[in-house]
């Protein structure tokens, strides 16, 4: 396999119900990806569902020996990533086709190191709630201090930056603290208003 452009990091814990949709949305991206699924000790049939992808060059299944939490699992994936960029996707969310291509284009145009997209809020059964949350085309450190407009499952960022800013504090804010540190150094991130992320409220 040639060097992937994007390494997609997907932590999962007991995600048998939804993970197939997440995985298929990665493989539909028309960008050279590798998908690293970090299984944080699932006790359901997650591993069995993922066995369908065994043998694919662009798929790696990694099982944590002990529970590391979402932040620790993402960091483990980043450490193993071979792509130029990292994208995060939670196992119960999924992407619109073309999402990664749009973000890579925007990152190349702006020279920024991080790109986020808008999101559509979905019900647990995968149907739309009718609500979307856009993001600004430019996100500054000062704006981000007010509230976290960057959703983790929408992010693409340079791999070297992800490796330099691992996620800490494994609670609901581990990603927010990371984005703040990155923008404190790099000043701005780019956003795509369209809801290219389908965010499941599950």
**What would the pLDDT profile of 96-140 be if each residue is shown by its tens digit?**
999 999 999 999 999 999 999 999 999 999 999 999 999 999 999
Question: In the structure, what pLDDT confidence band is assigned to residue 168 with cuts at 50, 70 and 90?
Answer: confident
- pTM comes to 0.96
Mean of the per-residue pLDDT values for the chain? 95
pLDDT at 170 over 70: no
Query: Model confidence at 75, in pLDDT bands (50, 70, 90)?
Result: very high
pLDDT over threshold 80, residue 172: no
Compute the distance between CA of residue 92 and CA of residue 134 in angstroms, rounded to an integer: 20
- The reported pLDDT for the residue numbered 52 is 96
Vertex 80 angle, CA 76 and 85, to 5°? 100
Is the pLDDT at 169 greater than 70? The verdict is: no
pLDDT at 171: 62
- Given a contact cutoff of 8 angstroms between Cβ atoms, the answer to whether 153 and 202 are in contact is no
Element (H, E) at 185: helix 174-186
The total of other beta-carbon atoms located within 10 Å of residue 42's CB is: 20
Residue 10: CB partners within 8 Å, gap ≥ 6? 19, 22, 23, 26, 35, 36, 37, 38, 77, 88, 89, 90, 91
Indicate whether 149 pLDDT > 90.
yes
202 falls in which pLDDT band (50, 70, 90)?
Answer: confident
């Amino acid at each position: 396999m040639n060097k992937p452009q994007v390494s997609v990091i997907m932590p999962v814990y007991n995600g048998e119900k939804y993970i197939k949709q997440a995985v298929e949305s990665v493989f539909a991206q028309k960008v050279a990806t590798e998908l690293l699924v970090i299984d944080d000790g699932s006790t359901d049939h997650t591993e069995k569902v993922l066995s369908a992808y065994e043998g694919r060059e662009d798929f790696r299944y990694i099982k944590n020996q002990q529970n590391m939490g979402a932040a620790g699992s993402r960091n483990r994936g980043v450490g193993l990533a071979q792509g130029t960029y990292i994208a995060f996707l939670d196992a119960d969310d999924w992407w619109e086709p073309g999402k990664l291509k749009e973000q890579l284009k925007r990152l190349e145009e702006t020279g920024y190191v991080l790109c986020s997209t808008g999101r559509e809020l979905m019900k647990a059964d995968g149907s739309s709630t009718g609500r979307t949350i856009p993001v600004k085309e430019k996100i500054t450190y000062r704006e981000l201090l007010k509230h976290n407009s960057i959703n983790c499952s929408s992010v693409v960022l340079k791999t070297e930056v992800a490796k330099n800013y691992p996620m800490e504090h494994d609670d609901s804010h581990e990603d927010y603290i990371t984005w703040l540190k990155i923008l404190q150094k790099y000043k701005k991130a780019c956003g795509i208003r369209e809801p290219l992320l389908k965010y499941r409220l599950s």
